[in-house]
Structure 1
Amino acid sequence: MTTKQPWLSDPQKEIGLILAPSLLPVVAIFIFQDYFISHEVSSFWWVLLVLCIDVSHVYSTLFRFYWDKPTFVKYKSLLITIPVTAFLIGAGLHFYDSMLFWRILAYVAAFHFVRQQYGFIRLYSRKEAASKLFRTIDTVAIYNATLYPLLYWHLHLTSKLSWFVQGDFVALKSIIASDIVQGIFIVIIVFYMLKEAWVSYQNKLLNIPKNMIMLGTYLSWYVGIITFQGDLIFTLLNVVAHGIPYMGLIWIHGEKKAPGFSFGWKGIAIFMTILLGLAYFEETLWDILVWKDHPDIFPFFTAHDPLDNPFILSVIVPLLVLPQITHYVLDGFIWRFSKDSQARI
C-alpha cells in the first residue's frame, strides 16, 4: 500500500516545472481563445516558445549526459557514436530527398514527444505495487493520450498544422477509421478512470503527480491538435508541455548529483544563459544559411541569399539538426540511465 505521493524530489518544484506546464497553458487558451485563434506565431511568440523553450531544452541534454563526467565516462562510446551516426545518416538522407529527410525527422520528433510522457508516467508510478494488468492499462492510457491526436492529425490533415515543414506528415484520410479510433480512444479513457478509482479506493490514496501528468497530456494534446488547429495554439501547448518539464527533470537530476547545483537565482541565471546562448547561436546559423525568415531577430548578413547548393545544404542542415537528433535518441535512454548508481532519480 502506497502511503505517500511519489515525488522525485521537491513537490513545489515538480508542480511548477513538470506538472503545471501541460495544464496552465490549456486554461490560458480557453480564457483568451479569441486572441489565440486570431493570431499566428509572431516574432514575440517565436522567441518565447521556439527559441527560449523548444531549442533551449534540447541543449539541456548537455548537462545530463555530456557535462556530467561520471555519466559521460560510463556511456562515452554511445554518446559519441549517436551524433556521428545521426549526422552521416542525415546527410545521406537529405542529399537523396530533402522532403523525406524532414518527414522522417518529424516522425522521430513526434515519437520523442510521445515517449517523454510515457517516461514521466513510469517515474511517478515507480512506487506503486501494481499488477501487470494495471501497469499495462497505464501504458495504454498514456499512449492513447498522444497517439489518438496524432492519428486524428493524419486522418484530418490540414494546412493549418505542420511539425517542421508543410506536408511533413502523411495524409491518411478515412472517415471510417476516424470513427473507430475515436471509439477506442474513449473506451481506453473509461478503463483507465475505472482502474484508478479502484486502485485509489484500495490504497486510500490517489497518485496525484501521475494523474496530473495523465490529465495534462490528454488536455494539451487534444486541445492543441483537435479542439483548435491554429499554429500558435499547437506550438504553445506542444512546446511548453514538453520543453519545460524536460528542463525541470534535468534540473532535479542536477540538484541530486551536485551539491552546488541549487535552485537559486544565480543557478537559474547560469543554467538559462547557457541554454539560451547555445539556442540563439544555432538559430542564427539557421537564419543566415537556410531560412532567412527572422531578420528582426537575427540581423546578420541579411543581404546575402540563403544557401541553395544541394550538396552543401545536405551537410549544413543535418549538422544544424544534430543537437535535436542527438537529444531525441538520448531521450530513449534517459529513463534507463536514471537507474544507474550515479543518477539518483
Structure 2
Amino acid sequence: MLGAGAVGGTIGGRLHQSGREVVLVARGPHLAALRAEGLRLTVPDGTHRLAVPAVGGPEEVELAPDDVLVLAVKTQHSAALLDQWAPRPVAGGGTAGERLPLVCAQNGVENERLALRRFARVYGMCVWLPSTHLEPGRVSAAGSPRSGMLHLGRYPHGADELASRVAADLADSHFDAPVSADVMAWKYAKLLSNLGNALEAVAGPIDGELRMRVWRRTRAEGEAVLAAAGIAHPSEEEQRARRGDRVVLVPLEGAVRGGGSSWQSLARGTGDIEADHLNGEVVLLGRLHGVPTPLNAALQRLAAAFAREGRPVGSLPDAELAALLDLP
C-alpha cells in the first residue's frame, strides 16, 4: 500500500485482517507510530490493533512477481512515489514498472495517466470509502455493513483476471468491489461529488442555504464541463442504486469524522491539498472546451491558500463565501 492514510490504511488493514500479506508504506510520525504500535483501525465493531508491516520506501522491501502495488496518496504526491517505485527491481528480472500491476485507489482522474507513463499495467479504482486519518498510527472507517465500495478496472479501459482476483480479495475483506470495464466513468462521477471537498475544507459543512447554493453552482459547472468534453458517467441515481444500503455511515466510539479528505488535509496541517486535481480538473477541462468555471477556479485558489498559509479549517467568512456567487 503506497500510502497508509485514511484510504490506504483502511484497505490495507482490512486486507490484513482477512489474512492477506500486506505492507504499508508511510512516512514521518505516522510511519514511526505504525512501527512502534501497529495500525489502530477503528471500525463499527471496535478498534483493532493490527501488526501490519510498515516501511518508509522501496529500498526496504524485495519485490516479487506476484506483488500488487496500490497507490493511495493524494494526487499531488503521486509522481514522487511513482518515480521511486517504478525502477525498483523485481525478483527474476525486470522492474516494477515493467512487471507489476499498479492500482490507483485515489480521487481524481489524473493519477492513472501519471502512472501509465511509468507502469505498463495500470488499474483505476473508484473509492467510496468514508474514512478518517487525523493522528499518527490511527485510521477509522465508519461504513457498515461494508467498509466501502471500490469499483476496479483496467486503465484506460477493460477488465482482466488480475482485476477479478484483486476484487475477490477485497470482497473477502469487508468491501464491495465491482469489476468495471469502464472504471474511469465511475471515477468521473466521483469527481463531481469531490468538487465539494474544497468548499467543505474552507467554509465548513455543506449545509444551509448559502453553502448549498455555492455547492449546486460548483457541481453544475462540473456537469457542464463533462458534457462539453463528451465524458459519460453514471448518474447520481445510478450511483445510489449501486451502493444501496451497503455502505452506511455509523457513529464510531472515540473516532471523529469532521470532514472528507481535503478537510482532513487542512486539519492535519499538511501544507498542501488536492484541489488542483479536483476543482482544478474541472477548470482545466473548462479551459480546453470553452466552458466558464468561475466557482471551481475560486475554490481551487482558496483551498491552496488555506493549505499554504495554515488557515484554520472551515474558517472562510460567510461574506467571502457569498461573494463567490457574484462571480461572472
Relative to the length of structure 2, the TM-score reads: 0.25
Q: Which has the higher strand share?
A: 2
Q: Structure with the greater relative contact order (CA < 8 A, sep ≥ 6): 1 or 2? A: 1
Q: Which has the higher helix share?
A: 1
Relative to the length of structure 1, the TM-score reads: 0.25
- Which structure has the greater CA radius of gyration? 1
